[in-house]
Structure 1
Amino acid sequence: MKLQHIAAFSAEGRGGNPAGVVLCDVLPAAERMQALAAEVGYSETAFAAPAGDGWRVRYFAPGVEVDFCGHATIALGAALARQQGPGLFPLELNKASITVEGHLSATRWGASLQSPSTRSGPVSAPLLEEALALFGLGPDDLDPRIPAAIAHGGGDHLILALNARERLRAMRYDLDQGRALAAREGLVTFNLVHADTARHFHARNPFPFGGVYEDPATGAAAAALAGYLRDLDWPHEGAIVIHQGEDMGVPSRLEAGIPPERGASIRVSGDTRVLREPSIIDSKE
C-alpha cells in the first residue's frame, strides 16, 4: 500500500489540513487501519479500495473511526486525479454514497466533493450552556442572526456563531472536557464561526472526539454550516467562502456551493498540496 501525505484546502499554496490517503487493492482490517491512522497522526486518514465502478472508503482519526471526513475526501479526490486522471469518482462510505471530482492542471490541483444530505435542528438549553462554558463564552458572545444549532453534513456538528472576530481568535478549551461532551452528545466537531459578510466566514473547528484539539480545515463542518445557512434562509446567494486555520498559522480556504433545495448535498471545494513524498506500508504489520 502507498501512504500519501496531502494538505487539503490549502490557500495560495500554503496551509491546508494534512490528511493521509491510502489507495489499496483491498481494505486492510479495521484494527490495522486504526493503528496506521494513529501512527500517521493526522486528524484523519482515508483508506480507499476499488469497489464496482467506484471506491469503498473508510476514514480513521488517531483514536476512532469516523463515517465521513471532508478534508480527507478532498485529499483522496486529488490523489485519484493524479493517479487516474481528472474525473468524477463515486465513493461508498459507511453510511452514505457520495462523489468527489478530482482536478489536476498546470496551475491547480484539488477536488470538489458532494456531501451527504444535510439537516439541522436546535440545541437544547442545557447543551448550549455547557458548550458555552467549555469555551469560556456567554450568551452575549453569540450572533443572534445565526442561532446555535446541531447541523448535519455527514456527521453532527455544534454550530456556535460569534458576534466578534476577536472572540473567535481567542478560542480556548479543555481537550478532555471537550472530548467527554462530544462523545456524550455524538458531536463530531464544535464549529465556531464568525460572519464577516453574508458570504464570507471565519471558522475554528475543535475536534476533541477524534483526539485533535483543532482542525485547520474541515470540509464536513463546512457542508453542515452551509446546509444550516440554507435552512435559515441566510442570504448566501448560492455559495460561501470559509477561511479557517488562520489563528493556528495554517491558512486554509474552503468554498461551499449551496443549491436551493433543502437537505440537498453541498458542493465543497478546495486546492491541495503535497506535504512529503509517499511511503510504502505493509497492510498486515
Structure 2
Amino acid sequence: MLNIQHISAFSSGQDGGNPAGVVICDTLPEPAVMQKVAAEVGYSETVFAAPEGDAWRVRYFAPEVEVDFCGHATIALGAALARHVGPGLFTLDINRARITVEGHSSDASWGAAFQSPPTRSGPVAAAVLAETLDIFGLSRDSLDPRIPPAVAHGGGDHLILALKDREALREMKYDFARAQALAAREGYITFNLVFAETAQLFDARNPFPFGGVVEDPATGAAAAALAGYLRDIDWPHQGRVTIRQGEDMGVPSRLITEITPERGASIRVTGEARTVRESQEIEI
C-alpha cells in the first residue's frame, strides 16, 4: 500500500496553489507502478521519495510521463517532510541533479523553499518561435521587446514568451495537440507565458502539454528558469521576483524567487502549502 498525501503548493492563504500527490516510502516502487499511481491521482505531478544514504531519492511523474524535476511537487514534498520528520533542510537526489529543499511547519505557516538545479538560457530557433506563436494565436507584435523569447533551463527546458499586454495573457488560448507535439519534439517541459507588471512582479500562465496537462496554476521549475533568464539578460530584478500564477484560472498562486548575481547559479524558490484533502491509500 502507498499513502498518497494531497498537498497544494504555492498557495495564497487558504486558496489556490497547484496540487501534487506526495508519496513518502521506505523504498521507491518500480517506475511502472509510480507512473500508474500518478495517472490514478491525476494531478500534474506526483512525487515519490525514499531515504537513500544521506539524502532522499526523489522521482516525479506526470499522468503520462516522468519528468526530471518539478518545482511545485518539491515544495509539497518539503512541506510533507517537515511534518514527517521535522522542519529542516533536506537533500534530494533527483534524476539529473542533487538539490535541497527546506521545509517548515508551524501553527502560523506551512511550506518550503527549494534550491533549483543550475540555470541556463538561450535563444529560440526562428522556425520554432514562428510555430509557437501560431499555436498560441500570437504575433511578434504581441511580445515584450525587453524580454526576448528564450529557452530557459531550471531543471528542465521551458520556452519563455513575454507578452507586452496583460489582456493578451488573460485571453491565452492554444492548440493542445500541436503544442504537445512541439513540446515532445523540442523537449520543452512547459510554455511559460509571462507579463511584467513591474520589474519585480510578473504574471504567468504555464501550459504543460508535454505532461498531458492544459495548464498548471503554479510551476516552480518554470519560475526558477524564468528567474535565471532574467538574470542572464540583466533585468533589474534587485535579487527578488514574485510571480503571480493561476489568477486567470481562478486558482491564485504565489511564487517567490531569490536571484543571486552569479550567472548559472541555483535559484531559491519559496512557497506556502495547504492540504487539499485527506491522504489516501492505494494498493500496489
Same fold per TM (> 0.5)?
A: yes
SS of the counterpart of 2:188?
A: coil
SS of the counterpart of 1:75?
A: helix
Pair 1:198 & 2:199 matched:
yes
1:36-51 equivalence runs, <5 A: 36-51=37-52
Name the CA distance, whole Å, in 2 between partners of 1:131 and 1:174.
10
SS of the counterpart of 1:126?
A: helix
1:227-246 equivalence runs, <5 A: 227-246=228-247
The answer for the alignment partner of 2:77 in structure 1 is: 76
Cα RMSD of the aligned pairs, angstroms, is 0.5
Name the CA distance, whole Å, in 1 between partners of 2:146 and 2:111.
33
Name the CA distance, whole Å, in 2 between partners of 1:138 and 1:175.
18
The answer for the alignment partner of 2:215 in structure 1 is: 214
Deviations along 1:140-182, one digit per CA (max 9) or x if unpaired, are: 0000000000000000000000000000000001111110010
Deviations along 1:212-240, one digit per CA (max 9) or x if unpaired, are: 00000000000000000000000000010
TM-score (normalizing by structure 1): 0.99
Write out the 4+ residue segments of structure 1 that deviate beyond 6 Å after TM superposition: none
Deviations along 1:25-72, one digit per CA (max 9) or x if unpaired, are: 000000000000000000000000001121000000000000000000
Name the aligned partner's letter for residue 92 of structure 2. L
Name the CA distance, whole Å, in 2 between partners of 1:138 and 1:280.
48
Shift of 1:105: 1.4
The answer for the alignment partner of 1:268 in structure 2 is: 269
Name the CA distance, whole Å, in 1 between partners of 2:92 and 2:121.
24
Name the CA distance, whole Å, in 1 between partners of 2:147 and 2:266.
21
Identify unmatched segments of 5+ residues in structure 2. none
SS of the counterpart of 1:243?
A: strand
Pair 1:65 & 2:66 matched:
yes
Shift of 1:281: 2.3
Name the CA distance, whole Å, in 1 between partners of 2:176 and 2:142.
21
Pair 1:163 & 2:164 matched:
yes
SS of the counterpart of 1:27?
A: coil
Among the aligned pairs, what percent are the same residue? Answer: 70
The size of the alignment, in residue pairs, is 283
The answer for the alignment partner of 1:32 in structure 2 is: 33
Identify unmatched segments of 5+ residues in structure 1. none
